[in-house]
Structure 1
Amino acid sequence: MSSQLIGMESFREYSSFATDDFIHTDLSKTHVENQLPKVNINVPVLPSTKFPRNEAALAFIPIKDGEKITIWKQFLFTWRTQGIYQALELLSQTDLKKCSANQMTYGMVTLWKTVKAVQHVFMPLSNMSSVIDTVAMFSHTKDWSTSPVRYLAWHPHCNKLAVATRDDTVLVYTGSTSTPVVVRHSSQKNISSMSWRPLCSAQLAVGCASGVALWTVDPASLGTRPSASCLTHLPHPTSVNSVAWDPQGKFLASGSAQDSSLYIWNVENREATLLQKIRGGGYTFLTWSPTGDRFLACTPGNVFKIWETRTWLAEIWDVMNGYVQAAAWSPCGTKAIFADSVQPTLYCVSKSSSTKAATVVADFTETQSSEATGLSRLVQNLAWDPRGERLAVTFRSSDYVALFRTRYSPTLSLFPCGVLKGEPDEVASTIQFKPDFENGALLTVAWSSGRIQHVPFSFLPQHLET
């Protein structure tokens, strides 16, 4: 395979890093596979997400024979089931001239539209039509709204994998078992993110439409469904887009693309500290550095922030256009790589940089040879293994996963080592490295078919095709 496959002239020297360098003689592929969960999501049984749930619910308003569903019945039903915010939104989208609306109603709707217009100046995403649209727009999962698997979360210390599916169920697999613990609740809708609590084997934070669902999953339970008593709800005023634990498991951060407040939770007493901001208009992705002293927060705008967590003083970084689509920390916590939503480029920001400018570390601009492979263009997601030796990248317009070998000290360097392909018609939906894999790096890939594949880098064939 030649470097033109990636379309980056600066990567011509990668061929010196052969896949033979990754092979361990004291380990077999079968042995690795036997220690990992076997997961294959049954796509036909998952419900379709073609229509939003709230629209479907209106079809079940109780009425008497011959009675019409008036706007006021819809308003009261929406208020009772979804809250006053959605009820007023329903009125604002209705032609009240065709309804028996009085002057007070007109005034209330006019005031609501004025508030929304002012809100849109500071929160551009607040007028999006639904939670599904917002989550799908900023999700790292490709085709989030239709993907059978919406998120993967490996436990940082245990051989435990959480899989969020399209029907808002979380399946928790332990060891090599094929029978998961089923984690589900009526308030757990539109799952956007998940994170296991470090230094704790049982707690899983799930970001969803109603806030954060904090589950305590008994590590000894197999094939059971935790009761509601195992759930702690951390409320948000809007749908949560990202959750992240600090490395010590003391604090949980949560943020929403539609809310300008960043929540830092002390989960022991269910209290949150709010980090307010206006510029950027919300939070789309949060990640703590492995050392815990820095915290990166991406926004829907063309800025992102890096906090120093001892003093909570922040550096504001700008991207030229668009917003930060994906980001990842180096193991030392002094470097972060990121990709924006409009440039086919990977950048790096460093704590020691004196210029306060990001450097380009990879360019995925199409070349004549890369057009045939489709491996280029905009980045969808990044995954960097905890040792800082392997990097996996998915793209918005490619079905594959690009794989790199990396060096992060003293400077960051990337060396392409291949492309991971799925079965025919499969698209790579979401990816994550297993944090505690002892024999190199283990990449877990969820494909659009519902198949979940574990790829130990020690055993990637020469062309990295499955």
Structure 2
Amino acid sequence: MSLDFSQILAPSLNEISIAEIDGKILNLGSSKDQKNLSQYVNSEGIVFPNLQIPYQLSHPDLVHLGTRRVVTDLPISPTAYGRFMDSMKRSIDEQLNQTQTYIQEITQNIRNILPSFLNEYIFNADTEEYMQSLRMKIDRYPAKIIDWHPYFSIFAVVHRVDVIFLYDLRVEGWFPEVLENSLQKEITCMAWKPLGGNILAVGCRSGICLWELSLEQKKESVPTRLHSWMLQSLTCDITSLATGSADGSIILWDTALETGIPLTRSRKVTFLSWSPVGEFLFSSSLDGKIEMWETQRWTSKTITSNGYPIETGCWTTDGRALFLGFNGREGEIHVLSVSPNFDYEWLPKIDLSPIPECAGIGIEQLAIDPNGERLVVCFKDTRLFKDTELLVVFDAKLPSQVSKKANLLNFPRTMRGPAWSDPDDQGAFFAQADPKPISLSFAKQFTRGSLLSTVWEDGQISFIPFLYSKVNK
């Protein structure tokens, strides 16, 4: 069964997507757009704060991180600052592209010179290339990861210099203290403990930093360090912490005793995820192998796949299917169905190539809302070739809600985020290519539907509610 993409119209360059109301994207061209503003107000839309994470931090006072505003008029032409930022970004893109090409050439030359057994056991070029690309990505943007608390309206944001900020949406204010430690370097992943909401696990170069926090706006303890090597992924269920890293290990941790049991040592892990109720642990490695464990007896099963490593993924809320994006399978969402008795089946994939703005672009992140009704797609940064600032939104279904072999995703539509902001002019928007999304996270508690928070490449954090009108509540 194919999807109908014919009705998809991307928001124009002078529009900002501020909400979805009853399945339709609401876009604003300026603060004078009274028709759409009135629709948002009549649907009881909330005015969320506008937050800005700076590229550089001035310690210890740090910076002024947020102001409250909605939308302002768009300027006719970019300011000098906007032209400067645009020029600087293009220069950085070109340098990163040249550096990556150079590293690939050097790596291939060394592999051609060394005997095959040395390639495998002494110098693993694939791992080195992967690690280098990971480091370049985590240092490029002001903020790189956002994650909401499991049951409070609080989220954590990772800054590029490995400082973590906490924001309390209940009072619209940043926590006065930040999470930083000499061990916490090169952060690549982060997760809250689901039922232990004062525990935040942070994966980094040296291992895992476990923060025990007070949610009364102050830190309570220094982090514990659990050893691992350059974590690519960590995931928490109700009782356990699992980590995966490029040295080939998946470790199950007892965080109270600070001890871990290796589940495997033979795979360079790029993706790791518990099912929502903890039945299964799912992993993917750099060589494209996919494994899944059932967590009662810890038996495993290898999943037949296309041989590409998984870049991102998320479970349906019932834990019966996974939406996956593969590195090397650009513009495709793959769907894996998992039964309670540990059987699996690949469902029809979703091809995004009919959306012109998204054709041929790799998927960076998939995020599903806590109600399981919306899936949002964030794309990789390929600005040298194509703008990738749009988000794609799907209606999502559970496997039990559709007939066998039917699509779990339908009715795709696109959303556009904020334009570039000038830190010296809180009301400025620049008429240039919009910043791309870097990290997505849905609030775990939102009574009117769902709330998506997005970190953009210029450090802005936006809030996009998915609302039902008063009539349909």
Alpha-carbon distance in structure 2 between the residues aligned to 1:169 and 1:431: 18
Matching residue within 42, 46, 70 for 1:30: 46
SS at match of 2:22: helix
Amino acid at match of 2:367: A
Match of 1:167 in 2: 161
Alpha-carbon distance in structure 1 between the residues aligned to 2:396 and 2:372: 6
Alpha-carbon distance in structure 1 between the residues aligned to 2:121 and 2:154: 42
C-alpha contact (below 8 Å) 1:327/1:336 kept by paired residues: yes
Alpha-carbon distance in structure 2 between the residues aligned to 1:331 and 1:165: 29
Match of 2:199 in 1: 203
Q: Does 1:242 align with 2:233?
A: yes
Alpha-carbon distance in structure 1 between the residues aligned to 2:367 and 2:193: 19
Matching residue within 171, 176, 179 for 1:176: 171
Q: CA deviation at 1:332?
A: 0.9
Q: Does 1:351 align with 2:338?
A: yes
Match of 2:243 in 1: 254
SS at match of 2:438: strand
Q: CA deviation at 1:449?
A: 1.2
Question: TM-score if structure 1 supplies the norm length?
Answer: 0.70
Matching residue within 221, 245, 255 for 1:267: 255
Match of 1:150 in 2: 144
Check 1:26–1:290 CA distance in 2 against 1; reply closer, same or farther (3 A cut).
farther
Task: Spell out, residue by residue over 1:351-381, the C-alpha distance to the aligned partner (whole angstroms, 9 max, x if none).
Answer: 239985412231112x4xx43x346532111
Q: Which runs of 5+ in 1 are unaligned?
A: 8-17, 52-92, 94-112, 137-142, 461-466
Match of 2:378 in 1: 394
Amino acid at match of 1:274: P
Amino acid at match of 1:220: E
Match of 1:232 in 2: 224
Q: Percent identity?
A: 23
Alpha-carbon distance in structure 2 between the residues aligned to 1:186 and 1:355: 44
Task: Spell out, residue by residue over 1:109-164, the C-alpha distance to the aligned partner (whole angstroms, 9 max, x if none).
Answer: xxxx999644258x664444x9553455xxxxxx4431111111111111110000
User: RCO higher in 1 or 2 (8 Å CA, sep ≥ 6)?
Assistant: 2
Matching residue within 215, 222, 231 for 1:219: 215
Matching residue within 407, 414, 430 for 1:419: 414
Q: CA deviation at 1:305?
A: 1.3
C-alpha contact (below 8 Å) 2:244/2:269 kept by paired residues: yes
Task: Spell out, residue by residue over 1:182-227, the C-alpha distance to the aligned partner (whole angstroms, 9 max, x if none).
Answer: 00011111110110112223111000000001011221125xxx47
Task: Spell out, residue by residue over 1:246-284, the C-alpha distance to the aligned partner (whole angstroms, 9 max, x if none).
Answer: 1x1x2111111x211101101011110101242xx3111
Q: Does 1:451 align with 2:451?
A: no
Match of 2:64 in 1: none
Match of 2:393 in 1: 403
Higher radius of gyration, 1 or 2: 1
Name the structure with the higher strand share. Answer: 2
Amino acid at match of 1:240: L
C-alpha contact (below 8 Å) 2:448/2:468 kept by paired residues: no
C-alpha contact (below 8 Å) 2:201/2:209 kept by paired residues: yes
Amino acid at match of 2:285: T
C-alpha contact (below 8 Å) 2:270/2:309 kept by paired residues: no
C-alpha contact (below 8 Å) 1:6/1:364 kept by paired residues: no
Task: Spell out, residue by residue over 1:302-341, the C-alpha distance to the aligned partner (whole angstroms, 9 max, x if none).
Answer: 1211111111111212332421111111111111111211
Q: CA deviation at 1:230?
A: 2.1
Task: Spell out, residue by residue over 1:72-128, the C-alpha distance to the aligned partner (whole angstroms, 9 max, x if none).
Answer: xxxxxxxxxxxxxxxxxxxxx9xxxxxxxxxxxxxxxxxxx999644258x664444
Amino acid at match of 1:391: L
Check 1:124–1:273 CA distance in 2 against 1; reply closer, same or farther (3 A cut).
farther
Aligned residues: 363
Match of 1:336 in 2: 322
Alpha-carbon distance in structure 2 between the residues aligned to 1:261 and 1:188: 20
Amino acid at match of 2:442: F
Alpha-carbon distance in structure 2 between the residues aligned to 1:449 and 1:285: 26
1:277-292 equivalence runs, <5 A = 277-278=265-266, 281-292=267-278
Match of 1:303 in 2: 289
SS at match of 2:6: helix
Alpha-carbon distance in structure 2 between the residues aligned to 1:124 and 1:356: 33
Check 1:5–1:451 CA distance in 2 against 1; reply closer, same or farther (3 A cut).
farther
Match of 2:22 in 1: 20
Task: Spell out, residue by residue over 1:432-464, the C-alpha distance to the aligned partner (whole angstroms, 9 max, x if none).
Answer: 11122222111111111111011111179xxxx
C-alpha contact (below 8 Å) 2:321/2:399 kept by paired residues: no
1:128-143 equivalence runs, <5 A = 128=129, 131-135=131-135, 143=137
Amino acid at match of 1:261: S
Task: Spell out, residue by residue over 1:19-76, the C-alpha distance to the aligned partner (whole angstroms, 9 max, x if none).
Answer: 4358999972226x3xxx753102254899x99xxxxxxxxxxxxxxxxxxxxxxxxx
Alpha-carbon distance in structure 1 between the residues aligned to 2:295 and 2:125: 28
